[in-house]
Amino acid sequence: MKRLVKNNVSWIGKIDWELQKFHGDDYSVNHGSSQNAYLIEEEKTVLIDTIWKPYDKQFRENLEKEINLEKLDFIVVNHGEVDHSGALPYLMEKVPNLPIYCTANAVKSLVGQYHHPEWNYQVVKTGDSLDIGNGKQLVFVEMRMLHWPDSMATYLTGDNILFSNDAFGQHYAVEELFNDKADQCLLWTEAMKYYANILNPFSPLVKRKIEEIVALNLPIDIIAPSHGAIWRDDPMQIVNAYAAWADSYQENQITIVYDTMWDGTKQLAHALAGEIQALDGDTVVKVFSISQTDKNDIMTEVFKSKAIALGSPTVGKSILSSVGGWLHFLSELQFKKKSAAVFGCYGWSGEGVGILREELSKAGFSVVEPEMKVNWNPTEEHLSGMRDIAEALCR
């Protein structure tokens, strides 16, 4: 059923408490999520986005309980990704001529996914607007690469609501819908995880887009994203957080990440944590085993860090596959202005540490000179020798 957002604007989405992963297996969902669609009932009746295909029947039925579908004047598709457009084909079976307002790139993604070039697409670009009656307008703002080339936000004048789609969202189920009702710790944890794991590669664009939106000087009372809580209490707090996160964000934290075969590399990881703490008690130190920790949670910790240290033993003249996969994901996220150190044990050939150095450099990290490469198991001297790395990372 629809739920009131403000005046004649309602939420009509899906709160999914059971969802556990997203983007295939690439994103863990630990506290539920939602796909938020919105219904505007002014002189014109307008739908903003839909929800994911597994719930397409439920979505259309819910909508039909609220309105006669023939009353729908048009739909705005802010973004073509399947979690927001998946219910569109089932809806369009009932209203095949419904105008679909979206970007030119969204037409490509919708036609590519659903194979309906005959749908009534109406292409819009930044600054275009539509009158929806009662003195209100929808104004479109392209959000190219936030996070797809087709992404767009829609602003409702009068009610001052920014339907931001993925931007400012979280994979977090909030039954009460609004940010002031959410568990604040989980809300911010999930908002940061979402930024670090999805939006971070596009940080330069985020920065420019926020400047552009602020320059428009639009009053914003509510930011209504397509996932998670709707920001009605001080909505600019998430915009300000994005501005900080997009600006090579870091806290006074060093994150140590490793995997191990026979615990030698693990010993080095924990010795380094102890040395950093001994050297500088103000620096937050966290240690994660790649094979035992949620990879998205580790990436959020990397996002918060000024430096990381990465350890792997040598295996097959290379590094552990768990570390290799993790490095691949790390490089996708394009972190900036962070330093790194490398360490690891080996029995015979010992290429691992050099590969870590090379891959971290390619991923954009400044890799410090001191490293720890240990033949067989570390001695007390090796463990205390981690102090050189600690000094280089704290510097």
Interface with ligand FEO by CB under 6 A: which residues?
A: 79, 81, 83-84, 147-148, 166, 226-227
Contacts of 19 (CB under 8 A, 6+ apart): 29, 32, 33, 171
- Which of 8/33 has CB closer to ligand FEO? 33
- Which of 166/371 has CB closer to ligand FEO? 166
- Which of 13/378 has CB closer to ligand FEO? 13
Q: DSSP of 146-164, one letter per residue? A: SSSTT-EEEEETTTTEEEE
Q: Provide, rounded to whole angstroms, the least separation between the CB of residue 147 and ligand FEO.
A: 6
Report the C-alpha gap between 232 and 253 in whole angstroms. Answer: 31
- Coil/strand/helix, residue 251: coil
Report the C-alpha gap between 320 and 265 in whole angstroms. Answer: 11
- Which of 16/166 has CB closer to ligand FEO? 166
Backbone angles phi, psi at 25, to 5 degrees: -105, 10
Tokens of 280: 């500088």
Q: How far is CA 338 from CA 85, 254, 361, in A?
A: 37, 10, 11
Q: Provide, rounded to whole angstroms, the least separation between the CB of residue 33 and ligand FEO.
A: 9
Q: Is 364 in contact with 335 (CB distance < 8 Å)?
A: yes
Report the C-alpha gap between 273 and 218 in whole angstroms. Answer: 47
Task: Name 165's bridge partners.
Answer: 225
Q: Provide, rounded to whole angstroms, the least separation between the CB of residue 309 and ligand FEO.
A: 32
Q: Which of 125, 90, 94, 95 is nearest to 107 (CA)?
A: 125
Q: Provide, rounded to whole angstroms, the least separation between the CB of residue 332 and ligand FEO.
A: 15
Measured over the CA atoms of residue 199, residue 204, residue 210 and residue 213, the dihedral's sign is: negative
Residue, CB closest to ligand FEO: 81
Q: Provide, rounded to whole angstroms, the least separation between the CB of residue 49 and ligand FEO.
A: 9
Q: Provide, rounded to whole angstroms, the least separation between the CB of residue 343 and ligand FEO.
A: 37
Q: Provide, rounded to whole angstroms, the least separation between the CB of residue 269 and ligand FEO.
A: 35
- Which of 33/255 has CB closer to ligand FEO? 33
Whole-angstrom distance between the N-terminal and C-terminal Cα of the chain?
Answer: 56
Contacts 24+ apart (CB under 8 A), 205-213: 205/144, 205/145, 205/146, 206/146, 206/167, 206/242, 206/245, 206/246, 207/243, 207/246, 207/247, 209/143, 209/146, 209/167, 210/239, 210/242, 210/243, 210/246, 212/141, 213/141, 213/162, 213/239
- Which of 166/259 has CB closer to ligand FEO? 166
- Which of 83/142 has CB closer to ligand FEO? 83
Q: How many residues does the chain have?
A: 395
Active site members: 23, 79, 81, 83, 147, 166, 194, 227
Q: Is 213 in contact with 154 (CB distance < 8 Å)?
A: no
